[in-house]
Chain A
Amino acid sequence: MKSGKEQTADLRWTLQKRMKEVLGRSLHIRHVDSGSCNGCDFEMNTLTNPIYDIQRFGVDFVASPRHADMLMVTGGVTRHLEEALIKTYNAASEPKMVVAIGACACGGGMFGRTYANYGGVDQIVPVYVYVPGCPPRPEAIIEGILLALDRYEELSRNKGENKR
């Protein structure tokens, strides 16, 4: 059996391969904190540390949604961040792949629905892929990106068929 380290390495190579196949080039991600406890955010940050270093494989976290193929959203969308999330979503370029990171983003988590919290990203914008965990491990986030690529591939294939 492969060690954890080897499995992580494999995952990243798969990521690079799939990005080439599906997108043709690199993947740009914009992060939106919609009211997380910051645990999920830190695990996303972890992906850029020298151990995981997914930037080496062509994934980058970018400053503007206009440069982003994917939005990674953490948190269950607070009332105070609803507008920011919608604006970011609208500003993002197609295909607007939204990946909900963590239990909060997926369905409210421990906080659920309160006067100040909507309880899930899909209450506000359409979600491509849900990555559960509190917080999800870095490997799970990579797995989430892979799933989003599958989904994108499938959707664009269907679109193509419809056109024909």
Chain B
Amino acid sequence: MEKTIKQWLSRMKQQLGNKVRSMEQNGAQETVMLVEKTELPDVCYFLWHEKKGRLFTMVGNDERDIHGFFALYYVFSFDSFRHFITVKTLIDPLDPTFPSVSVQLPAANWYEREVKDLLGLRPQGHPDPRPLILHGDWPEDLHPLRKDFPLDRHAPRVQSRESFMPYDSEDVTEIPVGPIHAGIIEPGHFRFGAVGDTILHLDARLFFTHRGLEKANEGMPLEKALFLAERICGVCALSHSTAFAQAAERLGGVTIPPRAAYLRTLFLELERLYNHIGDVGNICAGFGFAVGVSQGARLKETLQQLNERVAGHRYLRGIIRLGGIRIDITEREKEDIVRTLSYVKKEFQELVDLLFSHDIAMNRMATTGVLSLEHANQLEVVGVAARASGRSVDIRRDQPYAAYDQVSFHVPVYEVGDVLSRVRIRVDEVLESIAIIEQLMHSLPSGDTFTPLPPLPPYRSAMGWCESPRGETVHWLMVGPDQTVYRYRVRSATYSNWPAVPLAVKGNIVPDFPLINKSFELCYACCDR
């Protein structure tokens, strides 16, 4: 395998010729290609289109203190090689522009708007000039992720630059919704352009819950930064803390002990379970099927109470430690898990049978909110939404972490891409998760649960990733010389998936929007940071 990767890389270098200035390894799994900024679009397009790399994340960094430049990192994942290629370019502060990649590679759209807002690096030729992370009343010339911008500086509000899709025709009705919605849900502002009942176009203003988390994390000691990382999101808390810990461990070249890896896998699957089951129940709220809502919520509560008994926290917070895990489980707790899961499995099956045999429910879910495979691929959609549209990505299988290479599991894929497919994926994955946990219970190795971390090398980057219940999540980490966070970038599943929602709702009726939205189950806190 080693040899094939080397050959594959050197062939790639030949094909790219002098477009690549240098190529170096960054850890065992990542190769960094340094390019001139003018070559960015060509090289990225080559890796994505020709070589079929997935755009994994993109990070902008203010490295002026280190070598005088800003840096951009476009990371591509090559799942079949279990390898990442990062295209890196340096940007001169005197000319903070770069040629946009987004026209050819639509999935880069948000990332490039983000570095424009937060770092003041302007993508030239980008199709959408509107602000993204910072709303329109933020001064255009202030960029909070620059190192010389103080964390707690409050900028004055300026005349808003927000704009939405304008409609010429009188037949189009604009329906504004949010940011505060009717239920207990997260904030976002939606503008529907509707003809009669049918959605012509959906424009969304998001990032209302942007808290400045990445900046707040800068300068924090790693142990503390871990706690902030797990507060990115309430219900993917463990996925985030695990991804952060993995990034730090990869920087330190540390392999966690097998028992810790197994326990992490166990709790990560418990996290998936309570989410997926809650989501299957919650989808029923999209068509007023109260029995389903109640059953889902009841089983979710059962699982969260199990979390509390075994891990001490209903949302599995506080259990990850850099280099391993903070808690261990006893025989009695193992029995508790097995007993509770066998009960939940039986009850969940009943809920599923009820749901899938209900004509109205099926009618509402089937053919609603279709996301095509082509769109899913173009936008690099991940998680449940990807697998429901025939795109087989699951980072647990593709770039295994924790103990996922020690268990066997099936990654369900459906082709249709409608609400029903997304629900079916969750249902199948619930059963897979339970099967994974059964395997872990039988083969849990004994031994330590933690390896201490050595001092981490400054100004080098590493990534940690996790298949959260909502999909693949990536944390990119660079540590400074004083062992605190220098730059931290979180790309959650929702960040990748939100841009697909407007495509999936097009042509559907407005009352189906909540149902479609629920089936994607996006999390704004993860996305906005």
Chain A residues in 8 Å Cβ range of B185: 33, 41
Within 8 A of A (CB), among B174-228: 179-180, 182-187, 207-213, 215-216, 227-228
Contact with B along A44-84 (1 / 0, CB 8 A): 11101111000000000101100000000001101111001
In contact, B234 and A135 (Cβ under 8 angstroms): yes
Task: Verify if B315 is at the interface (C-beta below 8 Å from A).
Answer: yes
In contact, B237 and A49 (Cβ under 8 angstroms): no
In contact, B149 and A115 (Cβ under 8 angstroms): yes
A111 partner, pick from B135, B212, B315, beta carbons under 8 A: B212
In contact, B211 and A134 (Cβ under 8 angstroms): no
In contact, A45 and B184 (Cβ under 8 angstroms): yes
> How long is the Cα–Cα vector from A134 to B227 in the complex, in angstroms?
11
Contact with A along B220-256 (1 / 0, CB 8 A): 0000000110011111010000000000000000000
Chain A residues in 8 Å Cβ range of B210: 35, 78-80, 116
> How long is the Cα–Cα vector from A63 to B228 in the complex, in angstroms?
31
Contact with A along B153-172 (1 / 0, CB 8 A): 11100000000000000000
Contact with A along B281-320 (1 / 0, CB 8 A): 0000000000000100110110010000000001101000
In contact, A50 and B297 (Cβ under 8 angstroms): yes
In contact, A42 and B155 (Cβ under 8 angstroms): no
Task: Verify if B108 is at the interface (C-beta below 8 Å from A).
Answer: no
Chain B residues in 8 Å Cβ range of A88: 180
In contact, A80 and B135 (Cβ under 8 angstroms): yes
Contact flag A49-B180 (CB < 8 Å), given A42-B234, A80-B207, A115-B215: no
In contact, A114 and B212 (Cβ under 8 angstroms): yes
Task: Verify if B524 is at the interface (C-beta below 8 Å from A).
Answer: yes
> How long is the Cα–Cα vector from A113 to B152 in the complex, in angstroms?
6
Tally of A-B residue pairs with Cβ under 8 A?
135
Task: Verify if B384 is at the interface (C-beta below 8 Å from A).
Answer: no
Chain A residues in 8 Å Cβ range of B153: 115
Task: Verify if B151 is at the interface (C-beta below 8 Å from A).
Answer: yes
Chain A residues in 8 Å Cβ range of B466: none
In contact, B525 and A36 (Cβ under 8 angstroms): yes
Task: Verify if A1 is at the interface (C-beta below 8 Å from B).
Answer: no
> How long is the Cα–Cα vector from A61 to B461 in the complex, in angstroms?
45
In contact, B216 and A63 (Cβ under 8 angstroms): no
In contact, B234 and A41 (Cβ under 8 angstroms): yes
Chain A residues in 8 Å Cβ range of B135: 79-80
A61 partner, pick from B150, B183, B208, B317, beta carbons under 8 A: B183
> How long is the Cα–Cα vector from A162 to B525 in the complex, in angstroms?
45
A89 to chain B, nearest CB (A): 11
Chain A's closest residue to B317 (CB) is: A134
Chain A's closest residue to B301 (CB) is: A51
Determine which residue in B151, B207, B211, B297 has the highest number of CB atoms from chain A within 10 A of its CB, and name it. Answer: B211
* Residue tally, chain A, CB below 8 Å to B: 42
> How long is the Cα–Cα vector from A116 to B208 in the complex, in angstroms?
10
Chain B residues in 8 Å Cβ range of A114: 151-152, 211-213, 215-216
B57 to chain A, nearest CB (A): 20
Task: Verify if B260 is at the interface (C-beta below 8 Å from A).
Answer: no
In contact, A38 and B187 (Cβ under 8 angstroms): no
In contact, A112 and B216 (Cβ under 8 angstroms): yes
B525 partner, pick from A31, A38, A63, A64, beta carbons under 8 A: A38
Chain A residues in 8 Å Cβ range of B134: 116
> How long is the Cα–Cα vector from A114 to B209 in the complex, in angstroms?
12
A32 partner, pick from B180, B212, B216, B317, beta carbons under 8 A: B180
> How long is the Cα–Cα vector from A50 to B233 in the complex, in angstroms?
24
A143 to chain B, nearest CB (A): 16
B234 partner, pick from A40, A64, A78, A137, beta carbons under 8 A: A40
In contact, B180 and A37 (Cβ under 8 angstroms): no
Task: Verify if B369 is at the interface (C-beta below 8 Å from A).
Answer: no
In contact, A84 and B180 (Cβ under 8 angstroms): yes
In contact, B523 and A38 (Cβ under 8 angstroms): yes
> How long is the Cα–Cα vector from A38 to B527 in the complex, in angstroms?
12
Chain B residues in 8 Å Cβ range of A43: 314
A63 to chain B, nearest CB (A): 4
In contact, B227 and A38 (Cβ under 8 angstroms): no
Task: Verify if B390 is at the interface (C-beta below 8 Å from A).
Answer: no
Contact with A along B15-46 (1 / 0, CB 8 A): 00000000000000000000000000000000
A131 to chain B, nearest CB (A): 15
In contact, B234 and A115 (Cβ under 8 angstroms): no
Task: Verify if A39 is at the interface (C-beta below 8 Å from B).
Answer: yes
Contact flag A35-B215 (CB < 8 Å), given A45-B184, A80-B135, A115-B155: no
> How long is the Cα–Cα vector from A137 to B307 in the complex, in angstroms?
13
Chain B residues in 8 Å Cβ range of A79: 135, 138, 154, 210
B187 partner, pick from A37, A46, A84, A135, beta carbons under 8 A: A84
Chain B residues in 8 Å Cβ range of A46: 297, 301, 304
In contact, A49 and B297 (Cβ under 8 angstroms): yes
Chain A's closest residue to B150 (CB) is: A115
In contact, B234 and A37 (Cβ under 8 angstroms): yes
Chain B residues in 8 Å Cβ range of A64: 182
A41 to chain B, nearest CB (A): 5
Give 5 CB contacts A-B under 8 Å: A50-B294, A81-B187, A84-B180, A115-B149, A117-B211
Known pairs A39-B234, A43-B314; list 14 more (Cβ under 8 Å): A33-B180, A38-B233, A38-B524, A38-B525, A41-B184, A42-B315, A50-B298, A80-B135, A80-B209, A80-B210, A112-B216, A114-B212, A114-B216, A135-B315
Q: Which residues of B are in contact with A by a Cβ distance under 8 Å? A: 134-135, 138, 144, 149-155, 179-180, 182-187, 207-213, 215-216, 227-228, 231-235, 237, 294, 297-298, 300-301, 304, 314-315, 317, 523-525
Q: Which 6 A-B pairs have the closest CB atoms?
A: A39-B234, A114-B212, A63-B182, A49-B297, A116-B212, A38-B234
Q: Which residues of A are in contact with B by a Cβ distance under 8 Å? A: 31-33, 35-46, 48-51, 61, 63-64, 75-76, 78-81, 84, 88, 109-117, 134-135, 137
